[in-house]
Amino acid sequence: EYHGQRIVYDEMVIPNCNAVIFGQRMGIVCKGQVFQAFIIDSRAGKITDMGSGLKLEDQYARALRANGVSSLSTGHGFAWGSDDRLGGVESVRGWLQIGKNAKPTLLYFQDVCKVFESQMVRYHYKRTATSTTDQPVKKNDHMCDCIRYLCAFGCPYVKPKVHPKKEAETKSMKALAAKRDRKKKEAGANGHINFGPGNG
């Protein structure tokens, strides 16, 4: 989120993808990034693989774990994306409306998210000979599904927590600064400060 807006900053399109390939690619692409949550298609995630007996959701979670990829709230697992397609479409429509700052809620990096852009501009409802229905055409719309899940999820801003190590470093720096200030006061006019042994 940036000033109340949500930004699609990257995309990953993997033809003939499976859990193993997904996990490996995520391990490369997501290195060094921090995520709040992962979302999965609730219906697809429940499908059980005939060979392993595992649900797709579990397979993909295992793949993320194997490649060291996790999020703060869902760990290596997933939150379920809403299966209310029409409700999700309305959520996206709401994010595309121009807001008070003369910009829509939803923004994206055009140079990077080319498949997302291509699918969004071609997304349309089914048409009959006499009218247009309220049912979207299910074709070349994977990125549209992804943004629909995100919009329905809401993606509320969560203030980053300070890493325990960073927090400890901050406390140490504050303690050192306080010690330095105290030594300056004790030094008085001569301005000499001794941090040597026995002068703590």
Neighbours of 114 (CB within 10 A): 14
Structure confidence at residue 200 (pLDDT): 47
Q: Cite the DSSP H helix spans in 97-163.
A: 114-122, 142-153
Region 181-200: mean pLDDT is: 57
- The model's pLDDT over 22-75, given as tens digits with 9 standing for 90+, comes to 999 999 999 989 999 999 998 888 989 877 788 999 999 999 999 999 999 999
Q: Tell me how far apart the alpha carbons of residues 180 and 136 are, in angstroms, rounded to a whole number.
A: 66
- The model's pLDDT over 89-117, given as tens digits with 9 standing for 90+, comes to 999 999 999 987 788 999 999 999 999 99
- The model's pLDDT over 115-151, given as tens digits with 9 standing for 90+, comes to 999 999 999 999 988 888 888 999 999 999 999 999 9
Higher pLDDT, 124 or 159: 124
Q: Tell me how far apart the alpha carbons of residues 23 and 58 are, in angstroms, rounded to a whole number.
A: 12
Structure confidence at residue 36 (pLDDT): 94
Tokens, residue 71: 């999020």
Can you point out the beta strands (E) in the chain? Answer: 6-8, 39-41, 79-81, 106-108, 125-127, 132-136
Tokens, residue 79: 């939150």
pTM for the whole structure: 0.74
Q: Which of 104, 105, 134, 136 lies closest to 119 in space, CA to CA?
A: 136
Percent of the chain with pLDDT over 90: 58
Q: Cite the DSSP H helix spans in 12-55.
A: 19-29, 42-45
